Amino acid sequence: MGTQVPIVDYLVLEPEPHLRVHECTSCGARFFDRRNACASCSGTDFAPAELPTEGIVQAYTIVTFAAPGVDVPFVAAVLDCGGTSVQANLVDVTPDPEHVHLGQKVRLATYSMGPDSAGAEGVGFGFTPLEGAS
């Protein structure tokens, strides 16, 4: 298998796929992007923290209109992963209210986004339902 490259810096593929955030060492606030100072307490020290790979759907919408080339419909969701809010798409689920619901348990899933011109495989992520997937 060739080189795999995550599409975002906070997706870590090894040893098992998971998300990593920057956690303020003063107040515990978590951020996906790099910060010079904490937006919560103005602290300037951060440590890496790994998020649980399972979460709960807090809010969602079924997207039916998108830019050309984007397959619709799909489910965009806000998830609670161990107390940290994560915005991600739900994958491997029928995008309708019969198959997606508030409080639904989900798990991190990765997928290939195809190779680049050098043959490296881009890897994306989403979350898949733990129950009732279809």
> pLDDT, tens digit, for every residue of 7-53?
999 999 999 999 999 999 999 999 999 999 999 999 999 999 999 99
How far, in whole angstroms, is CA 68 from its chain's centroid?
23
Q: Which domain holds residue 56?
A: 4-129
**Residue 37 located in a structural domain:** yes
- Report the relative pairing of strands 121-129 and 4-6 from DSSP bridges: parallel
Please check whether residue 20 lies inside any domain of the structure: yes
Q: Could you give the CA distance from residue 21 to residue 48 in angstroms, rounded to a whole number?
A: 6
pLDDT value of position 1 = 53
- Whether 35 and 22 have beta carbons less than 8 Å apart is answered as yes
| 19-22-26 Cα angle (round to 5) | 140
Residue 134 placed within a domain = no
Q: What's the pLDDT score for residue 117?
A: 87
What is the torsional sign of CA 34, 49, 124, 122? positive
| Contact (Cβ atoms closer than 8 angstroms) between residue 64 and residue 72 | yes
pLDDT single digits (tens) 110-123: 999 999 888 899 99
What local confidence, expressed as pLDDT, does residue 17 receive?
97
Span 73-107, pLDDT tens digits = 999 999 999 999 999 999 999 999 999 999 999 99
Distance between CA atoms of 56 and 119, rounded to whole angstroms? 35
Residue 64 included in any domain: yes
For residue 27, being part of any structural domain is answered with yes
pLDDT for position 134: 44
For the chain, the distance separating the N- and C-terminal CA atoms, rounded to the nearest angstrom, is 29
In a domain, 52, yes or no: yes
Q: Are 123 and 111 in contact (CB under 8 A)?
A: yes
CA atoms within 13 A on the CB side of 59: 4
What total of structural domains would you count in the chain? 1
Joined tokens for residue 70 = 């984007």
